[in-house]
Amino acid sequence: FGKIVGSPKTDPGLYFKIPFIQNTNYFPKNLLDWDGDPGQVPTLDKTFIWVDAFARWKIVDPVKFFQTVNNTVSALARLDDIIDPAIRNFITSYRLIETVRLSNRELDTLEIGFEDLKKQAPYGSKVLTGRAAITKGILEQAKPKLAPFGIELVDVKIKRLNYVEEVRKSVYNRMIAERKQIAEKFRSEGSGEARKILGEKERDLKLITSEAYRQAQEVMGKADAEVTKIYATAYGPDPEFYSFVKTLEIYNKSLDKESTVILSTDSEFLKYLKGYNEPAKRN
């Protein structure tokens, strides 16, 4: 009783067994899941993080599997005992950045303002190993230990990494401070650019205004010259008449109906009036 009869049957088909004496045990051939329990683990640089990992495994030797663990529930317990210590061993052997980053590739989400912050990064922040190499090391360490149970460990991956609550608050505060620093840098640059644009606008406005004033004065000068020329042409044959007309224009603009003008006997305007009235009397 309990003895394995024959070799494991891995192909589909009809097979013979003795009823009530022989029993059939079925084991899955497909990939199976192992989902580890999240645990708190310190990194090499003494940062405590929560690590959540998963793995894929399969049964490759049904006889060993049946003789050692017998069923998948017991197999999962064995996986817990082997994979969890391997994960803890590797996480504690590397710095936090090694478990988070795969390489030194520049992040696509870096803003322009991060150049100054990157200069402030602590020494030794360069990735030397990376998460992919760490998970590969976990797999290589755990895989041989599962072979005696007829189990092949196919892959191990870190599903999630997170800071513990105390560290998370500190990280969030630092991130907020960095974002504020970047925002202040952008605001300062924007204010400087605004002042520059306003200065250029004022300069251009003064240049345009002065040029327009110069052109206006030039046009007015030409107009005055043309008017003077026209007057000279019109009144050139009789300068005294021109002087008389101009005097009338001046008095017409400066006096109204109620104005009283007292003229001396030697006033030029009075002379013009006398000269204008005498021909009228003669007529």
Q: Say how far apart CA 97 and CA 90 lie, in whole Å.
A: 13
Look at residue 62 and tell me whether its pLDDT is greater than 60: yes
Q: Is the pLDDT of residue 30 over 70?
A: yes
pLDDT interval class at 282 (50, 70, 90)? very low
- Nearest-CA neighbor of 29 among 6, 66, 7, 58? 58
Architecture of domain 32-163 in this structure: 2-Layer Sandwich (3.30)
Highest mean pLDDT among 114-123, 125-134, 232-241 belongs to: 125-134
CB atoms within 10 A of CB 205: 10
pLDDT band at 5 (very low <50, low <70, confident <90, very high): low
Of 10-24, 77-91, 152-166, least confident by mean pLDDT is: 10-24
Q: Of 273, 249, 251, whose CA–CA distance to 261 is shortest?
A: 251
DSSP three-state, residue 257: coil
- Report domain extents, the chain: 32-163, 237-283
Highest mean pLDDT range out of 129-138, 167-176, 230-239?
A: 129-138
pLDDT for 64-120, tens place per residue? 998 899 899 999 999 999 999 999 999 999 888 888 877 766 655 444 444 444 444
Buried b (16+ CB within 10 A) or exposed e, 186-197: eeeeeeeeeeee
Q: pTM above 0.75?
A: no
pLDDT in tens, 180-209: 888 888 888 888 899 999 999 988 898 898
Strand (E) or helix (H) holding 95 = none
- pLDDT value, residue 105: 66
